[in-house]
Amino acid sequence: MAMHVLFPGPRTTIQDQGRPGYQNSGFAPGGFMDRDAAKTANVLVGNEDTEAVLEFCLIGPVLFFDETVNIAVSGGDFGIDVEGTFCPADRPVRVPAGKKVKITTGQAGLYGSLAVGGGLDIPPVMGSRSTSLRCGIGGFRGRALAAGDEIPLRNPENGRKDLSWRWVPPRRQVPPDDPAAARVRVIPGPQENMFTPKGLQTFYESAYEITSHSDRMGYRLTGPRVEAADGYDILSDGIANGSIQISGSGEPIVMMADRQTTGGYAKIASVITVDLPLFAQLRPGQKVRFEKCTVQEAQKLLREEDKMWKDHCRMLEENSPNHYKPYRLSFSEEGSSRSGCRSCRRSGWAGRKPRRAGLRSGRKSSGQKTAGRKSAGRKSACRSCR
């Protein structure tokens, strides 16, 4: 009951929501680089959206599982190759035991999240399973994955379920070679006043290129110098996720998940949370333009996004085929059409043989059946469950 790493990829670590609560002691929270990708991959395989995932950078791992599992990958333009069968990202994939899984890399995106149904059995350190390479803690033995690693699965039962019907709404993607540069919204401050009007104009009107000196700590950008009135140094203060520092060279550094908690460069603005996943997926060489946004607007967008996501997750739980099993059993085997309750799960169904392990095809037809059952099932919920 483990995930076996055949080839780790250059920078593959285990990440979850991170380790907040220790920043006052100098400990960066870390966690997902692309929060949306991790949430998506997790929900597709039936996990909580905060479950720990494998996060890889550009080149994904090659793995196999000694148990049938559901997996999903999300983030950039990645795919899953199961011994020659290509499966796209943002879809759940059932991988039979022993089959070799390879992550394929496409034209866009930098960070990918691979979720395993039921989660990885990794002990949390200071409340989180995130790997902090700097401190050598969390994740799998506090380090990046290596060939030969065997990571135990927490709940391999998950692999018995057919989750192929689960879906997520498509996310915003940056086209691989957008000449106009990606647009990312930022909230000005807190040291905006240290920059000259000309400097601010430069910052908001220029395209900045992501350099190869970019990692989980921060993305260094290159482009026109942002002019400050009197240097870029400040009395060190706190740094938030997505804060944009202007360093001594006059060029921006966007602080990411493994950032330092405090810093001594002036912060001209911060990337809004809703745009941070998109920004995180920009590869070195791609360009970005910053647009002003107010904190009120940013928080409204985030709240809307959060509500849509939660509604979607609730819808998936309510529409789960597992939810209708008692009704389906009575319909097909007892012949009484409107007797079962869709909500009170009873025995009977458990006696049914688990579905044949294997990659599922013909997803459409099973989806249609599910839809039909759904409408019939809704009528038949008993009073206590309605």
Partner 1 sequence: MKYTIKPVGDSALTIIFGSEIDPEISRIVRMARTCLTNKEIEGVIEYVQTYAALMVHYCPVTISYDELAARIDAELSRMDSSSDQTEKRTFVIPVCYGGEYGPDLPAVCAHTGLSEKEVIRRHSGVDYLIYMLGFLPGFVYLGGMDRSLSTPRLKVPRERLEKGSVGIAGDQTGIYPLVSPGGWQIIGRTPLELYDPEREPSILYEAGEYIRFFPINETEFKRIRREVELGIYKYE
Q: Which two three-digit tokens encode residue 23?
A: 């920043």
153 binds partner 1 (CB under 8 A): no
Pairing between β-strand 93-95 and β-strand 150-152 as defined by DSSP bridges: unpaired
190 binds partner 1 (CB under 8 A): yes
| Chain residues 5-24 in contact with partner 1, contact rule CB under 8 A | 20-24
296 binds partner 1 (CB under 8 A): yes
Positive or negative, the CA dihedral 118, 121, 126, 128 is negative
311 binds partner 1 (CB under 8 A): no
CA distance 11 to 31: 14
CA distance 167 to 313: 10
Which is nearer to partner 1, 41 or 254 (by Cβ)? 254
**222: phi > 0 → left, psi -120 to 50 → alpha, else beta; which?**
beta
CA distance 138 to 217: 17
Q: How far is the CB of 300 from partner 1 (least distance, A)?
A: 9
Binding-site residue total for partner 1 (CB under 8 A)? 41
Which is nearer to partner 1, 95 or 137 (by Cβ)? 137
218 binds partner 1 (CB under 8 A): no
Q: Which two three-digit tokens encode residue 295?
A: 């904190």
Which is nearer to partner 1, 76 or 138 (by Cβ)? 138
235 binds partner 1 (CB under 8 A): yes
254 binds partner 1 (CB under 8 A): no
Which is nearer to partner 1, 50 or 299 (by Cβ)? 299
| From candidates 104, 260, 319, 366, binder to partner 1 by CB under 8 A | 260
Which is nearer to partner 1, 301 or 316 (by Cβ)? 301
Q: How far is the CB of 379 from partner 1 (least distance, A)?
A: 35
| From candidates 10, 231, 238, 354, binder to partner 1 by CB under 8 A | 238
Candidates 113-121, 129-137, 334-342, 369-377 — which segment interacts with partner 1 by CB under 8 A? 129-137
Contact residues: partner 1, CB under 8 A: 20-27, 125-126, 134-135, 137, 187, 189-190, 235-243, 260-263, 267, 270-273, 295-296, 298-299, 302-303, 306
